C-alpha cells in the first residue's frame, strides 16, 4: 500500500425526512444564502422543507446555478454574498450546485481574480465561507469531498480545484428527495459513481486488499441496483443504496493508499466544455476506449476486475480483457447511455478539438503512470469514435 493521509471532516445526516435536521446543523445566528440550480428543488417541495427547517434565521436565496456551473454565474452569487453580508452557505441540489457553492465559498474570501483559484487547482485558496449541503442527485460525491469543477463559459475551460477549506461542514442525504429525478439523471449518477470507483481501483496492484474489495463491492452494488433504480423511482431501499454508494465512491476512502488514474475524467471534461455533453456520458465514451488502449499497464487489475466484478474467468488473457471491456461498455449501454462519440454526432473533428484543449490545459501526462500524452489521448479518442 502507498503512504497516505486521510482526513474527511464532513458530517453526514442520512435518511428519510432528515432535512428538518438543518434546524440544528446551521448555526442559529447565521445569515444564510441558499444556492440552488433551476426549478427542481422548488417544484418538488425540497425548498419548502429547507425553509421550514431554517425557521427565523435570515435567509437569502441565489437561484440559477446551471449544470456544469459557470464562473460567470457563480460570480453573481459572490456579489450577492457581499451585498447581503452572508456568513453561511447552503447548497440545495446536485453536484453542480454543491461544486458551485464550494467555488463561491472560496471566491467570496479571495483577494485577487477568483479565476486564479481554478488556474492554481485550489493551491491559492487560504480560506472559505462555511457551508453545508442538501443533496438531491446521487452521482458526484461532491457532498463529502473537497473537489469542485467550474467552467469559464467564454473560453470553454472546464477546470477542477481541491482545497482542504471546501469540505462541506455537513451534508443531508434524504433518498426520498431523489424520487423526482428524470431517468436520464439517475443513469448519469450510476455511471459517474461507477467511473469514480474505477478511476481509483483499475490501475495496478499495490497490495491494498481492503480498498480493492471495497471498490469491487461498490461496483457490484451499482450493477445490482441499476435496473431497479431506473425502473422504480420511489423504491426507498434502492435509492438509499444508490445515494450512499455514490457518496462512498468519492469521499476519499477507496482512494487512500492506492494509485489513481483520472484520465477518463480529464478527457471527459473537455468533451463537456466543448460540446455540452453531460459529465457522466463523456465518461461512458472515454472509459471503454481508455481501458483498451491502456490494457498493458492495467493488465493485472483488468483481469482482477473482470473476474471479481463480472465473473469473467475463462479464455486467454486477451480474451478475458476483451470480455471485461465489453461488459463495462454493455453496462453503460444498459443504462441508456451511448458509449461512442458517434452516439453524440461527433467525429474526427471533435478528436482534434479535444486534443487541442488538453494541450492548452497542460493535460499532457495523464493516468496512474503519467504516460497518457497527447498522442495517447488521440488514440483513446479515436478508439471511441
Interface with ligand NZQ in residues 185-224 (CB under 6 A): 185, 188, 192
15 CB-side CA count, 13 A:
5
Q: Which stretch binds Zn ion (CB under 5 A): 9-17, 188-196, 225-233, 323-331?
A: 188-196
Question: What's the min distance (Å) between Cβ of 47 and ligand NZQ?
Answer: 10
Question: Would you state the cell numbers that stand for residue 133, as one nine-digit string?
Answer: 449541503
Q: How far is the CB of 199 from Zn ion (least distance, A)?
A: 8
Measure the CA–CA gap between 74 and 71, rounded to whole angstroms.
5
Q: For residues 34-63, which are near ligand NZQ according to CB under 6 A?
A: 37-41, 44
| E-state strands within the chain | 11-14, 31-36, 58-63, 88-93, 131-135, 147-152, 157-162, 170-173
Out of 70, 136, 176, 264, the only residue in the binding site for ligand NZQ (CB under 6 A) is 136
Instruction: Give which of 190, 127, 181 is closest to 331, Cα–Cα.
Output: 190
Place of cell 425548498: 47
d(CA 181, CA 173): 15
Sign of CA dihedral 163, 269, 156, 336: negative
Q: Which of ligand NZQ, Zn ion, none does residue 177 bind to, with CB < 5 to 8 Å depending on kind? A: ligand NZQ
Residue 49 or 377 having the CB closest to Zn ion: 377
Q: Could you tell me the three cell numbers for 257?
A: 493508499
**Residue 238 C-beta: closest distance to ligand NZQ, Å:** 15
Distance CA 93, CA 181 (A): 11
- Applying CB under 6 A, which part among 31-39, 53-61, 301-309, 374-382 lies near ligand NZQ? 31-39
Nearer to ligand NZQ, 265 or 320 (CB): 265
Does the protein bind ligand NZQ through residue 251 (CB under 6 A)?
no
Kindly indicate which of the ranges 3-11, 96-104, 201-209, 297-305 contains the residues binding ligand NZQ, using the contact rule CB under 6 A: 96-104
Size of the site for Zn ion (CB under 5 A): 1
Residue 345 in contact with residue 275, Cβ under 8 Å? no
Stretch that binds Zn ion, among 163-171, 186-194, 199-207, 309-317 (CB under 5 A): 186-194
Q: Are strands 147-152 and 157-162 parallel, antiparallel or unpaired?
A: antiparallel
Residue 16 in the binding site for ligand NZQ (CB under 6 A): no
C-alpha cell at 202: 483499475
Distances (CA, A) of 338 to 58, 101, 252, 281, 328: 46, 30, 29, 7, 12
Number of residues that bind ligand NZQ (CB under 6 A): 34
Burial 211-225 (b: 16+ CB within 10 A, else e): bbebbbbbbebbbeb
For 134, which DSSP code? E
Is 192 among the residues that bind Zn ion (CB under 5 A)?
yes
Binding window for ligand NZQ (CB under 6 A); candidates: 16-24, 109-117, 184-192, 317-325: 184-192
Tell me which of Zn ion, ligand NZQ, none is bound by residue 180, counting a contact when its beta carbon lies within the kind-specific cut-off of 5 to 8 angstroms.
ligand NZQ
Nearer to Zn ion, 102 or 320 (CB): 102
**DSSP three-state, residue 173:** strand
**Which residue, 2 or 39, is less far from ligand NZQ as judged by CB?**
39
Give me the residues that bind Zn ion (CB under 5 A), please.
192
Give me the residues that bind ligand NZQ (CB under 6 A), please.
37-41, 44, 67-68, 93-97, 99, 136-137, 139-142, 145, 147-149, 177-178, 180-181, 185, 188, 192, 250, 265, 279
Amino acid at each position: 500500500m502507498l503512504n497516505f493521509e486521510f482526513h474527511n471532516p464532513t458530517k453526514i445526516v442520512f435518511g428519510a425526512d432528515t432535512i428538518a435536521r438543518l434546524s440544528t446543523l446551521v448555526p442559529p445566528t447565521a445569515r444564510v444564502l441558499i444556492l440552488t440550480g433551476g426549478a427542481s428543488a422548488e417544484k418538488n417541495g425540497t425548498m419548502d422543507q429547507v425553509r421550514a427547517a431554517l425557521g427565523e434565521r435570515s435567509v437569502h436565496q441565489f437561484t440559477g446555478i446551471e449544470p456544469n456551473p459557470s464562473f460567470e454565474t457563480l460570480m453573481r452569487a459572490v456579489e450577492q454574498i457581499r451585498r447581503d453580508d452572508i456568513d453561511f452557505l447552503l447548497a440545495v441540489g446536485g453536484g453542480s450546485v454543491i461544486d458551485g457553492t464550494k467555488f463561491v465559498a472560496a471566491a467570496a474570501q479571495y483577494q485577487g481574480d477568483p479565476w486564479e483559484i481554478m488556474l492554481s487547482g485550489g493551491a491559492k485558496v487560504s480560506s472559505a465561507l462555511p457551508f453545508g449541503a442538501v443533496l438531491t442527485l446521487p452521482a458526484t460525491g461532491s457532498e463529502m469531498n473537497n473537489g469542485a469543477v467550474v467552467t469559464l463559459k467564454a473560453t470553454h475551460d472546464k477546470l477542477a480545484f481541491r482545497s482542504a477549506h471546501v469540505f462541506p461542514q455537513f451534508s443531508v442525504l434524504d433518498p426520498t428527495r431523489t424520487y423526482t429525478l428524470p431517468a436520464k439523471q439517475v443513469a448519469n449518477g450510476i455511471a459517474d459513481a461507477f467511473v469514480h470507483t474505477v478511476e481509483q481501483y483499475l490501475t495496478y496492484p499495490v497490495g491494498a486488499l481492503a480498498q480493492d474489495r471495497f471498490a469491487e463491492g461498490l461496483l457490484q452494488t451499482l450493477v445490482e441496483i441499476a435496473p431497479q433504480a431506473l425502473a422504480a423511482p420511489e423504491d426507498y431501499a434502492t435509492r438509499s443504496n444508490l445515494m450512499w454508494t455514490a457518496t462512498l465512491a468519492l469521499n476519499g476512502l477507496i482512494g487512500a493508499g492506492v494509485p489513481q488514474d483520472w484520465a477518463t475524467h480529464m478527457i471527459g471534461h473537455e468533451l463537456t466544455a466543448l460540446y455540452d455533453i453531460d459529465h457522466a456520458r463523456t465518461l461512458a465514451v472515454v472509459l471503454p476506449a481508455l481501458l483498451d488502449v491502456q490494457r498493458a499497464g492495467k493488465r493485472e487489475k483488468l483481469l482482477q476486475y473482470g473476474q471479481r466484478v463480472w465473473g469473467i474467468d475463462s479464455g486467454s488473457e486477451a480474451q478475458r480483457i476483451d470480455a471485461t471491456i465489453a461488459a463495462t461498455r454493455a453496462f453503460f449501454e444498459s443504462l441508456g447511455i451511448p458509449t461512442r462519440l458517434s452516439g453524440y454526432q461527433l467525429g474526427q473533428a471533435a478528436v482534434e478539438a479535444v486534443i487541442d484543449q488538453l494541450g492548452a490545459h497542460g493535460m499532457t501526462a495523464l493516468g496512474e503512470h503519467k504516460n497518457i500524452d497527447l498522442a495517447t489521448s488521440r488514440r483513446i479518442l479515436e478508439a471511441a469514435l
